[in-house]
Amino acid sequence: MRLSVLMSVYNDAPFVERAVASIGRQTWRDFEFVIINDGSTDGSTDILRRLAAADPRIILVEQENRGLVASLNRGFAIAQGDLVARMDSDDESLPHRFERQLAFWDRHRDHGVVGTQMVNIDDRGELLRMTNRYPRNFDDFLLAMESDPLMSHPSAIIAKDAFVKVGGYRPVYRHCEDYDLWLRLSA
């Protein structure tokens, strides 16, 4: 399998259905969708069970709350795709996300990770801000380390073999696991 989608969910009942629906609307249709329900107690479990029953691509894993890093590492271990697309349970992906990222990947097979820009919206869908362009070369990467996020984590597609090679997400980094991963993937 070429693509797995990975999402960890913890108490995101107000948003999770829209997040899952945005993945279901992708123009690139050939993927599995690994969802780790990380001990949600707010109704997310019922929503996820209903959605998983309706879409055979969804692999729903339920566990006690272990935190994001443990959930993502578990999801990567389950994922069968050569590439793993990250998704957050309170985000939405535009319909051509996977199609465009995979087309880019086909032209740049030496990359360990690719991402996209991100638009921040409020609860009403109003634009708050759009991310700046992300680094495209090593010099831009060094500059970005000083101020901007290197890449939007929930928009990333990561080569599973590169992820495994660098040791996955490290538990010591509970809130900047992505930043740590980007640095190790860039080495």
> 106-112: long-range contacts (C-beta < 8 A, 24 or more apart)?
111/159, 112/158, 112/159, 112/162, 112/163, 112/185, 112/186
Which pLDDT value is given to residue 125? 67
CA 187 to CA 159: how far, in whole Å? 15
Residue 38 has pLDDT above 90, yes or no: yes
Q: Between vectors from CA 135 to CA 134 and to CA 141, what angle results, nearest 5°? A: 135
Mean pLDDT of 135-155: 71
| pLDDT confidence band for 70 (50 / 70 / 90) | very high
Q: Retrieve residue 147's tokens.
A: 């101020």
Mean pLDDT of 92-107: 94
| pLDDT confidence band for 174 (50 / 70 / 90) | confident
- What's the number of CA atoms in the CB half-sphere (13 Å) around residue 67? 11
Q: What is the mean pLDDT of the chain?
A: 90
pLDDT tens for 110-135 read 888 888 877 766 777 666 666 666 66
- The DSSP result for 104-140, as a single string, is HHHH-TT-SEE----EEE-TT--EEEEPPPPP-SHHH
Domains and CATH numbers, the chain: 3-115+154-175 (3.90.550.10)
For residue 113, what are the CA distances in angstroms to 11, 45, 60, 132?
28, 30, 25, 18
Range name among 10-19, 114-123, 170-179 with the lowest pLDDT average: 114-123
Phi–psi pair at 48, nearest 5 degrees: -65, -40
Please compute Rg for the chain using Cα positions.
16
Which pLDDT value is given to residue 129? 65
